[in-house]
Amino acid sequence: MECIKIKTSKRNELIDITSEIQAIVSKSKIKEGICVVYCPHTTAGITINENADPDVKSDILNRLGAIVPENENYSHSEGNSDAHIKSALIGNNQTLIVSDGKLQLGSWGGIFFSEFDGPRQRQVLVQLIKQ
Ligand code: ZN
């Protein structure tokens, strides 16, 4: 297992970690297999989406904020229920196909660490399974 450390700088933020994940795949020399990317935090997540136009990131964050407002009548006493709900919606892991030593993401796909309760020090766990 490999671990990537991420320092987030905003409360809500999508951070492209595609190159870090691909570097782990390349270092492993695995040509065909599966790459599991897992976020061990309950107020963050992992998503795959377009990394060409940065407006896609801001649209996702803005719409999530509209669906799940920060200040509602939530029960959770820690005061970050919106972050837990966004994490549940986005999900905390992704499974990727590795072929010819490359993550198969399509033309515009990128892997994003999704921060919903930053800024914080975070980590992402990566496990590779060789075919
Ligand atoms: Zn909490």
The alpha carbon of 81 and the centre of ligand 1 are apart by a number of angstroms equal to: 6
CA nearest neighbour of 115 among 79, 76, 64, 66: 64
Q: Map tokens 């976020």 to a residue.
A: 39
pLDDT digits (tens, 9 = 90+) for 15-43: 999 999 999 999 999 999 999 999 999 99
Number of domains into which the chain is organized: 1
pLDDT for 93 equals 98
The alpha carbon of 89 and the centre of ligand 1 are apart by a number of angstroms equal to: 15
Ligand 1 ion: nearby residues, β-carbon < 5 Å: 78, 80
The alpha carbon of 90 and the centre of ligand 1 are apart by a number of angstroms equal to: 16
Q: Which two tokens stand for residue 10?
A: 């905003």
Tell me which residues of the chain have a pLDDT lower than 70. none
The pTM (predicted TM-score) of the whole model is 0.96
The alpha carbon of 15 and the centre of ligand 1 are apart by a number of angstroms equal to: 21
Q: How far apart are CA 111 and CA 94, in angstroms?
A: 9
pLDDT for 124 equals 98
The alpha carbon of 33 and the centre of ligand 1 are apart by a number of angstroms equal to: 35
pLDDT for 130 equals 97
Question: What 3-state DSSP class applies to 38?
Answer: strand
pLDDT for 55 equals 97
Domain containing residue 42: CATH number: 2.60.120.460
The alpha carbon of 79 and the centre of ligand 1 are apart by a number of angstroms equal to: 6
Question: What 3-state DSSP class applies to 101?
Answer: coil
Can you give the residue range of the structural domain that contains 10?
A: 2-71+78-130
The alpha carbon of 96 and the centre of ligand 1 are apart by a number of angstroms equal to: 29
Find out whether 61 and 112 touch, Cβ atoms under 8 Å: no
pLDDT for 69 equals 97
pLDDT for 38 equals 98
